Homo-oligomer: A and B are copies of this chain.
């Protein structure tokens, strides 16, 4: 049976695009989330176009073999992790930027295009594709669509779903569904586009996307503020929101993150001087407006008790300041492996979340660094542990769960941008409740009745 399937896949895609050697397929078994389970695939296939994707879906459907779609593997929820005996459908060969229509501010792309490559391609036309997950230099648009990825820009420009006009999706019966449109507005029928975005490969395989682009913003000006108390930093974020200031970026780092980065970069960010939190903000409005926006943020920071505020219009200096934020996960590796969580809380409760994470860190006896997109309330508490110690691994897992419970209890969500995947299934059920779960199962059964796509990911069928 499986032999027949492999033969059919090789016939359709060519031998070189159907990988079965376990040493080769091993690197396609999981994404970047160490807590999520993963199995051994029957094969890893790399179709070259939509027709080949359709052929794979039809062949697997006929054989009753599940499909796990996958992009670059930068995910942080195990959504792209293989299940035993599945076919991992890798979309990286579909990597063409088909069209950039500058006059209508849109691009048509295949799912395997790397986020950064798209950004560069549209920049040449004076245009901007906002979603910028931290892995933007290697993650693919297909993965961004499947997880409704966010990033640092969201505070001003929204998440992936806010930049998508339409999709081509291969359904479980192998048919090609076209959703959405090329126009800016459109309400013809259900919003299937946004249903597939964030569905984490459980409903179909996206093979093409029409993306809305924005005018390229001005070069950013940057502000960094150091606070001696977490509560003061949290208050500053709340007040920026309350006063209607919309920076293009507003990131927070806690004391643990700051220390790790100081050690990694061999620089001082103020930890020794008692810095409990750093806020890094940017404005991309340019000129006088950017100066006014950052001046207003500076005032809010000082009023909230910042010990130090520094503003620069120098692009290189701004990049350097932001690099401190971007390097946190790498910096933490001097202490051990990291496990990054992803919660979103009301923007007024960020300080509470930081305090709560410090308590969990103490209780679990593990270092937890909190970095995040303060302007959205989307925080990434990152737990450091020794993976060779079963005890530390268990404690890390417990801390991970306690952070989720903490965020839910604050009126937040268990995932702001990384998704549910195979690591937060039970937590999704807890967040959305039995009625929500039934609605999810009904939609899954409607579009994928044989449970072909990514079975067991996001939620269980019973």
Contacts and interface: CB of A to CB of B under 8 A. Distances in A.
A417 to B, nearest CB: 6
Interface in A394-427: 411-420, 424, 427
A347 interface: yes
Contact of A184 (B175, B192, B198, B344): B344
**Residue with the highest number of chain B CB atoms closer than 10 Å, among A104, A155, A171, A417:** A104
A314 interface: no
A294 B105 CA distance: 20
Contacts of A424: 188
Interface stretch (A12-20, A57-65, A429-437): A429-437
Contacts of A245: 215
A236 to B, nearest CB: 13
A186 B415 CA distance: 6
A435 B177 contact: yes
A190 B443 contact: yes
Interface stretch (A31-39, A146-154, A329-337, A357-365): A146-154
B347 A419 contact: no
A187 B428 contact: no
Given A443-B443, A446-B445, A241 B186 contact: no
Interface string A117-139: 00000000011000000000000
A309 interface: no
16 contacts: A103-B347, A158-B162, A171-B435, A177-B439, A183-B411, A183-B412, A184-B376, A185-B376, A185-B413, A185-B417, A186-B416, A188-B414, A189-B431, A191-B198, A443-B443, A446-B446
Interface of A: 101-105, 126-127, 147-148, 150, 154-155, 158-159, 161-162, 171, 175-179, 181-192, 194-195, 197-199, 203, 214-216, 238, 241-246, 288-289, 344-348, 373, 376-378, 411-420, 424, 427-428, 431-433, 435-436, 438-440, 442-443, 445-447, 458-459
Given A102-B242, A442-B446, 16 more contacts: A127-B244, A150-B185, A154-B184, A158-B162, A171-B439, A175-B435, A181-B413, A183-B346, A183-B378, A185-B344, A187-B419, A190-B195, A190-B199, A191-B197, A214-B244, A443-B447
